[in-house]
């Protein structure tokens, strides 16, 4: 930065606030918008709230005394009059504005007392000297206190000059790649964006469709993508993974015992996993599948392949409840095959916990199920060969990488299978999960009917209660989900209790159950089990039922205060119905008035049942950082790219990355260094 003229420690500190620490950072600090200073607007056709350049003559100038003294300059160009206002001025300044003096002024047009006005415009007096003027399209940058547009523009002009010196800013995209996509060179792109020609298509620059902007976004996405692929490569090279046979007698027996046939998608993903597991490099695969698509069965088969070869498998879930469900499923399926499943719950007593840990350490229990938190503590495996992570978006790249390193022992690395319940748009998966292979279970088990969704104002509660009555009279079952804004289990539980009481009164003929997070595990399980057996008609619940219950006869889902929940959670909840052959429906009850985004969210839920579609819309609404829950880590903060705007570039980026790694490996590291930095972002791994 010090190579730029006039940048001392104070300015450097202000630049640092904008995360601008080098000349290159400055160059990638792109304008928010542009001001057109090339076109003179007649005063008579000025419109308030726009920026404009006017050219006229001074009619009068006076200092108005008062609480806030101001200098007022009336200007006219024959089409109308405009008042320029200065609150900060020198006494002598008034003398500049002699009647009849030519003046050009640029600023924001605002309504005024007698005429439109401009406050503190940029202005120039006297006959025009074109060379000395800022003209044409002038960029406006993200700025900060103590660092104004004039300074930023000056800094950028010097930065561009420096960049123009030979070798100062190498173009890291190979020419062939550039030509293939019709991209300008880096320097051309930067010059175009920071100093566009007067006729530049501004909307194309600002919406990212202009080749100059596309080129920058492409290069940045490529840098990030390459860095993830490289990390993955390095991890895989460092340690070998157990080679597990594709054919497995345990898997065959497991399949024979299942009460259903696997779907085509499950078969396909199973063989993708089997192939990965047979290789000496650690598998790193993400299995995406909508709610109810049957990911658990597929995970169980992978675990059995490990067990058959004498390796242990760990199954991790993000919540205790989900871990419980996995434990139940795995025990049910594996115990008959003689495979012991250890349960590492946070709620175990010391004795039970010791026992479970011993079973895992001795290798007696070949499969262990627990929460992520538990596995981060000192669980010793005898011989860990496979880690299954049910992550539900809660894991970032860093955490995944850390987990991989932890699993490594004596030069052996376990395979990793990651399952996500909420689908991630394909495009985003390529970036967020570039360190993983991706499999998709894109088919639901047969016999499921799509859920009809309606949004109903809370004022129509009585009607909703009647719906519950009718459904249950037909022998169906229903859920009633209560939600609260606060993340308080206690308040939520109380609200659910009150709701259950009122519903019991309104529906005396129904058997009503209640589950919430404050209940003892055994009680919660007993109630859910009763509901599953059909001994309860209506289950009032907090959002704890998001995961964990599977009752095909339940055909009605009521979600109270649905406007408070995000799309992912709504989709998860709705996934609890529509699991059988009966037509199911979901009622989203809301408290009016709805905010604009809440309205959009409920509309999306009514329009589609497709988890991938919902995820895509969710991404558009929330942006990638919030979507992936990585906002705090800064993991997905880009300088020039925008994952939503530039999503269409991602397949091109992926292809280019493969090509570079294969044909021009020397071009890879400089791209990573430029956009990701020298390993700083992955320092914590």
Between 343 and 675, CB nearer to ligand ADP = 343
Between 295 and 400, CB nearer to ligand ADP = 295
At closest approach, how far in Å is the CB of 634 from ligand ADP? 31
Angle between helix 320-334 and 249-257 (nearest 10) = 100
At closest approach, how far in Å is the CB of 640 from ligand ADP? 37
Between 219 and 442, CB nearer to ligand ADP = 442
Q: Which residue has the tokens 């229990």?
A: 365
Cα–Cα nearest to 327, from 521, 513, 569: 521
Q: In whole angstroms, what is the distance from residue 494 CA to residue 514 CA?
A: 11
At closest approach, how far in Å is the CB of 448 from ligand ADP? 9
Is position 294 an interface residue for ligand ADP (rule: CB under 6 A)?
A: yes
Structural contact between residues 499 and 480, judged by C-beta atoms closer than 8 angstroms: yes
Between 325 and 431, CB nearer to ligand ADP = 325
Q: Which residues contact 29 (CB under 8 A, 6 or more apart)?
A: 18, 20, 141, 142, 152, 156, 639
SS3 readout for 207-259: CCCCHHHHHHHHHHHHHHHHHHHHHHHHHHHHCECCCCCCCCHHHHHHHHHCC
At closest approach, how far in Å is the CB of 49 from ligand ADP? 51
Between 419 and 672, CB nearer to ligand ADP = 419
Between 293 and 477, CB nearer to ligand ADP = 293
Hey, what are 470's tokens? 């009718």
Q: Which of 295, 400, 524, 601 binds ligand ADP (CB under 6 A)?
A: 295
Q: Which residues pair with 412 in a beta bridge?
A: 240, 409
At closest approach, how far in Å is the CB of 579 from ligand ADP? 7
Alpha-carbon dihedral 366, 371, 376, 379, rounded to 10 degrees: -30
Is position 580 an interface residue for ligand ADP (rule: CB under 6 A)?
A: no
Is position 297 an interface residue for ligand ADP (rule: CB under 6 A)?
A: yes
Structural contact between residues 450 and 511, judged by C-beta atoms closer than 8 angstroms: no
Site string for ligand ADP, 423-452 (x = CB under 6 A): ----------------------x-------
Which 249-288 positions form the footprint of ligand ADP (CB under 6 A)?
A: 260-263, 266
Between 345 and 392, CB nearer to ligand ADP = 392
Between 112 and 566, CB nearer to ligand ADP = 566
- Give the binding range for ligand ADP (CB under 6 A) out of 11-19, 108-116, 199-207, 294-302: 294-302
Q: In whole angstroms, what is the distance from residue 562 CA to residue 483 CA?
A: 8
Residue 89: is it exposed, middle or buried by C-beta count within 10 angstroms (0-12/13-18/19+)?
middle
Between 239 and 444, CB nearer to ligand ADP = 444
- Residues in contact with ligand ADP, counted by CB under 6 A, come to a total of 16
What are the Cα distances from residue 311, in Å, to 330, 331, 365? 16, 17, 10
Between 194 and 295, CB nearer to ligand ADP = 295
Is position 572 an interface residue for ligand ADP (rule: CB under 6 A)?
A: no
Is position 293 an interface residue for ligand ADP (rule: CB under 6 A)?
A: yes
Q: Which residues pair with 62 in a beta bridge?
A: 72
Neighbours of 118 (CB within 10 A): 25
At closest approach, how far in Å is the CB of 444 from ligand ADP? 8
Rounded to the nearest angstrom, the gap between the alpha carbon of residue 280 and the centroid of all alpha carbons in its chain is 33
Is position 610 an interface residue for ligand ADP (rule: CB under 6 A)?
A: no
Q: Which of 72, 291, 359, 401 binds ligand ADP (CB under 6 A)?
A: 291
Is position 292 an interface residue for ligand ADP (rule: CB under 6 A)?
A: yes
Between 297 and 514, CB nearer to ligand ADP = 297
Q: In whole angstroms, what is the distance from residue 268 CA to residue 266 CA?
A: 5
What are the Cα distances from residue 383, in Å, to 311, 314, 354, 379, 663? 6, 11, 18, 12, 39
Hey, what are 331's tokens? 């025990």
Between 226 and 301, CB nearer to ligand ADP = 301
At closest approach, how far in Å is the CB of 277 from ligand ADP? 19
Between 174 and 292, CB nearer to ligand ADP = 292
Q: Which 3 state secondary structure label does DSSP give 457?
A: strand
At closest approach, how far in Å is the CB of 654 from ligand ADP? 26
At closest approach, how far in Å is the CB of 547 from ligand ADP? 8
Nearest residue to ligand ADP, by Cβ distance, number only: 294
Q: Which of 296, 542, 584, 630 binds ligand ADP (CB under 6 A)?
A: 296
At closest approach, how far in Å is the CB of 539 from ligand ADP? 17
Structural contact between residues 301 and 273, judged by C-beta atoms closer than 8 angstroms: yes
At closest approach, how far in Å is the CB of 47 from ligand ADP? 55
Between 255 and 461, CB nearer to ligand ADP = 255
Site string for ligand ADP, 536-555 (x = CB under 6 A): --------------x-----
At closest approach, how far in Å is the CB of 392 from ligand ADP? 10
At closest approach, how far in Å is the CB of 262 from ligand ADP? 5
Cα–Cα nearest to 416, from 266, 315, 290, 343: 315
Hey, what are 9's tokens? 């420690």
- In what order do the strands lie in the sheet containing 70-76? 116-119, 81-86, 70-76, 51-64, 102-108, 122-125
Q: Which residues pair with 79 in a beta bridge?
A: none
Q: In whole angstroms, what is the distance from residue 149 CA to residue 138 CA?
A: 10
Beta strands per DSSP E along 304-397:
312-317, 341-344, 367-371, 384-390
Report the first-to-last Cα separation within the chain, whole angstroms: 29
Is position 611 an interface residue for ligand ADP (rule: CB under 6 A)?
A: no
Which 369-428 positions form the footprint of ligand ADP (CB under 6 A)?
A: 421
At closest approach, how far in Å is the CB of 254 from ligand ADP? 12
Hey, what are 533's tokens? 């057996």
Structural contact between residues 439 and 273, judged by C-beta atoms closer than 8 angstroms: yes
Residues that bind ligand ADP (CB under 6 A): 260-263, 266, 289, 291-297, 421, 445, 550
């Amino acid at each position: 930065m010090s190579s730029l003229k006039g940048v001392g420690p104070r300015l450097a500190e202000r630049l640092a606030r904008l995360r601008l620490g080098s000349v290159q950072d400055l160059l990638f600090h792109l304008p928010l918008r542009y001001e057109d200073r090339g076109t003179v607007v007649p005063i008579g056709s000025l419109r308030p709230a726009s920026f404009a350049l006017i050219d006229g003559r001074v009619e009068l100038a006076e200092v108005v005394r008062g609480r806030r003294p101001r200098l007022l300059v009336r200007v006219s160009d024959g089409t109308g009059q405009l008042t320029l206002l200065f609150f900060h001025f020198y006494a002598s300044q008034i003398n500049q504005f002699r009647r009849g003096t030519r003046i050009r002024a640029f600023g924001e047009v605002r309504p005024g007392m007698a005429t439109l006005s401009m406050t503190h415009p940029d202005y120039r007096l006297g006959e025009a000297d074109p060379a000395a003027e800022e003209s044409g399209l002038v960029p406006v940058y993200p700025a900060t206190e103590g660092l104004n547009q004039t300074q930023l523009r000056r800094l950028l002009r010097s930065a561009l000059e420096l960049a123009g010196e030979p070798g100062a800013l190498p173009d890291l995209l190979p020419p062939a790649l550039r030509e293939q996509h019709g991209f300008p060179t880096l320097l051309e792109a930067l010059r175009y964006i920071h100093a566009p020609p007067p006729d530049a298509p501004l909307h194309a620059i600002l919406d990212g469709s202009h080749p100059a902007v596309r080129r920058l976004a492409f290069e940045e996405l490529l840098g990030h993508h390459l860095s993830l692929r490289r990390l993955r490569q390095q991890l895989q090279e460092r340690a070998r993974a157990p080679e597990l046979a594709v054919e497995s007698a345990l898997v065959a027996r497991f399949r024979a015992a299942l009460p259903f046939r696997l779907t085509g998608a499950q078969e396909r993903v199973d063989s993708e996993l089997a192939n990965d597991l047979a290789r000496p490099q650690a598998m790193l695969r993400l299995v995406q599948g909508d709610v109810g698509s049957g990911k658990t069965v597929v995970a169980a088969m992978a675990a059995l392949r490990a067990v058959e070869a004498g390796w242990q498998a760990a199954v991790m879930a993000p919540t205790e409840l989900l871990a419980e469900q996995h434990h139940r499923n795995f025990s049910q399926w594996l115990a008959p095959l003689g495979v012991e499943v250890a349960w590492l719950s946070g709620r175990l007593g010391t004795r039970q916990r010791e026992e479970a840990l011993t079973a895992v350490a001795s290798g007696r229990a070949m499969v262990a199920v627990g929460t992520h938190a538990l596995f981060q503590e000192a669980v010793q495996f005898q011989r860990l060969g496979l880690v299954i992570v049910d992550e539900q978006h809660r894991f970032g790249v860093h955490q995944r990488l850390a987990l991989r390193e932890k699993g490594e022992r004596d030069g052996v690395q376990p395979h990793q299978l990651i399952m996500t319940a909420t689908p991630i748009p394909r495009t985003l998966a390529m970036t967020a999960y570039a360190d993983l292979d991706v499999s998709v279970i894109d088919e639901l088990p047969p016999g499921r009917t799509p859920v009809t969704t309606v949004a109903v104002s809370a004022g129509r509660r009585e009607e909703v209660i009647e719906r519950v009555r009718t459904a249950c009279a037909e022998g169906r079952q229903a859920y009633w989900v209560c939600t609260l804004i606060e993340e308080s289990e206690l308040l939520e539980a109380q609200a659910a209790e009150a709701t259950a009481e009122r519903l019991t009164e309104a529906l005396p003929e129904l058997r009503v159950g209640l589950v919430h997070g404050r209940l003892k595990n055994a009680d919660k399980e007993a109630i859910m089990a009763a509901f599953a057996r059909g001994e309860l008609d209506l289950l009032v619940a907090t959002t704890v039922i998001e995961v964990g219950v599977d009752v095909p006869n339940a055909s009605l889902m009521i979600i109270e205060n649905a406007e408070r929940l995000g799309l992912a959670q709504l989709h998860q909840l709705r996934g609890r119905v529509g699991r059988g052959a009966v037509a199911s429906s979901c009622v989203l009850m809301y408290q009016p008035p709805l905010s604009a985004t809440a309205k959009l969210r409920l509309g999306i839920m009514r329009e589609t049942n497709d988890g991938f579609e919902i995820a895509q819309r969710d991404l558009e609404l929330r942006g990638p950082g919030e979507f992936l829950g990585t906002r705090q880590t800064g993991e997905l903060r880009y300088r020039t790219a925008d994952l939503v705007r530039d999503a269409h570039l991602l397949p091109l980026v992926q292809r280019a990355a493969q090509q570079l790694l294969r044909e021009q490996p020397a071009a890879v590291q400089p791209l990573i260094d430029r956009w990701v930095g020298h390993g700083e972002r992955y320092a914590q791994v």
